[in-house]
Amino acid sequence: MPPERSRSDGRVGAKLRELTATDPLGRLGPEDPWSAFRRVEIIDLQLDFRFRHSLGKYSRFFLELEHQRLMATRCPRCETVWMPPRPACGNDLAVTEWVELPGRGTLAAATECAYTLTTGGGKTRLTLGYVALEGASTLLLQQIKNYGDARRLVPGARVRVVWADAAVQHPMELFWFELDT
């Protein structure tokens, strides 16, 4: 948030402004039970986080993306193939095994977004889709790019993985899907 112009004399560095708040219910004078508490000071506070975040037992998925491989996990008991992978099966808690999936599948649903708030940040437009990869029992959320007309983003449309050439910030930016026409 950009700092607001300070109306203080500079003695309190964090002070952004002071104001006289009105009762949000519109009560005036003695009808406002909080009339003695309407003088408000707004100060600047900052809270920064930087994580040393382990991707834990999911790490192989992200590491193999650097080698252009899409890794899922398969439950040896119920044979569900989880994509995104799970180290323990979400159905029966059995320890799963890694399997590589081909980078082809079909689109289950897609939405064009006017902005994104995470990868890329800010007002960047993006399109997100759920993809049913061949061999997977579940759907993978990923960005859909270079499709042209949005009317082509129909459920059942064939898609294929495309790998990033440029350096990226997060491993999930190493790939996206495009229509396979």
Site residues (CB under 8 A) for another protein?
Answer: 1, 19, 21-25, 34, 37-38, 40, 42, 45, 47, 55, 58, 82, 84, 90, 108-122, 126, 128-130, 138-143, 150, 155, 170-173
Residue 98 CB partners (closer than 8 Å, separation 6+) = 60, 71, 72, 73, 74, 85
User: Distance between CA 112 and CA 163 in Å, rounded?
Assistant: 21
* Structure token pair of residue 18: 């002071």
Which is nearer to another protein, 12 or 55 (by Cβ)?
A: 55
Min dist CB 101 to another protein, Å, is: 14
Q: Of 91, 96, 99, nearest to 76 (Cα)?
A: 96
Min dist CB 165 to another protein, Å, is: 18
Angle at 27 between CA 23 and CA 31, to 5 degrees: 120
Which is nearer to another protein, 101 or 139 (by Cβ)?
A: 139
Min dist CB 122 to another protein, Å, is: 7
> Rounded to 5 degrees, what are φ and ψ at 56?
55, -135
Min dist CB 67 to another protein, Å, is: 18
> Rounded to 5 degrees, what are φ and ψ at 40?
-125, 140
Which is nearer to another protein, 8 or 116 (by Cβ)?
A: 116
Which is nearer to another protein, 82 or 147 (by Cβ)?
A: 82
Which is nearer to another protein, 19 or 95 (by Cβ)?
A: 19
